[in-house]
Homo-oligomer: A and B are copies of this chain.
């Protein structure tokens, strides 16, 4: 009906974006599209529909999904909401080689139950939600490392840019690339085989708050991105993980009225009941997640579909996607 404006196909999996393709990239995307056979089986008499990115991910075979080790999951329980509803946020910590100094600190802080009784202290619209000790005086556990800014950028083994050259994003003057490494969005500059690369700030990524000096972030104060990707924070703050479940418990919190979104009154802060590594929870209560391997053909098809929506709602495919418009699919694994 003409005026029933409910856009029931406006979404599914959310965003795709910028068309930064070289001719080579375009050719690879076309090849991938041809190989992908983007038509779902149709019932007799029904037109075939091109699947959405979410449908492509959902149809990926089990072998393309990678389990996330419980030892890499940080489980943050906020105080229950106004109606008593539980508010659990689950964060996946990054694998090596990224940010391991801070992540070692975070494991120690969780083991010491250091965050219990701290709070979400800051929610700034279109930017970050941040948590930690609002007094800034709670003693930290012994043995935390001071991590230097050099670790913001990795200089180790070359990443696998080649595998996802169809997703590389060349910049016009300084050569810069983005791709996925073991399930994480990363960028590099120089040449595609450069070993200098870093994880990038996308929606839901978790980083380490710090003061002015680059080595002042311990990992005790963390933030999650709840807005448009703040690219200017890349290489300026350490990223340590991403929210894989419950981001809405942070993104839908009231915004703070003080500068930078800090809450004005103590009563506004959202208490943190506990933060634990999943391995410390009872086995039956441990959350289980898996992500779509970014080395899989399924992911290549998914990424292509994010860059070129061809499912029925869309009229004009965008022709490309920025790295943060290709969120790596993560899903909960049902308990057996």
Chain A residues close to B by CB (< 8 Å): 1-12, 14-23, 25-26, 82, 121, 123-128, 130, 132-133, 136-137, 140, 144, 146, 149, 152, 170-174, 176, 202-204, 208-212, 214-218, 220-221, 223, 227-237, 247-248, 251-255, 260-261, 306, 309, 312-322, 324-325
Contact = CB atoms under 8 A, between A and B. Distances in A.
Given A231-B16, A231-B321, A11 B251 contact: no
A12 B261 CA distance: 9
Given A26-B173, A231-B17, A212 B12 contact: no
A271 B111 CA distance: 45
B209 A5 contact: yes
A327 to B, nearest CB: 8
14 contacts: A2-B218, A5-B208, A6-B221, A7-B209, A10-B210, A11-B260, A14-B227, A15-B126, A176-B319, A212-B312, A227-B227, A232-B314, A232-B321, A252-B252
A315 to B, nearest CB: 5
Contacts of A125: 247-248, 251-252
A18 B230 CA distance: 9
Contact of A325 (B217, B228, B319): B228
- Could you tell me the dominant secondary structure of chain A's interface residues? loop
Contact of A25 (B25, B172, B324): B172
B229 A15 contact: yes
Contacts of A321: 231-232
- Ranked nearest first, the 4 interchain pairs of A and B with the lowest CB-CB distance are A5-B221, A17-B231, A16-B232, A15-B230
A216 B324 CA distance: 30
A25 B170 contact: no
A5 B132 contact: yes
A171 B322 CA distance: 12
A212 to B, nearest CB: 6
Given A19-B176, A231-B18, A322-B18, A3 B209 contact: no
B5 A232 contact: no
Given A14-B126, A15-B127, A318-B234, A5 B212 contact: no
B136 A4 contact: yes
A220 B5 contact: yes
Contacts of A228: 14-15, 202-203, 227-229, 324-325
A99 to B, nearest CB: 15
B231 A5 contact: no
A192 to B, nearest CB: 14
A45 to B, nearest CB: 19
A176 B319 CA distance: 11
B203 A227 contact: yes
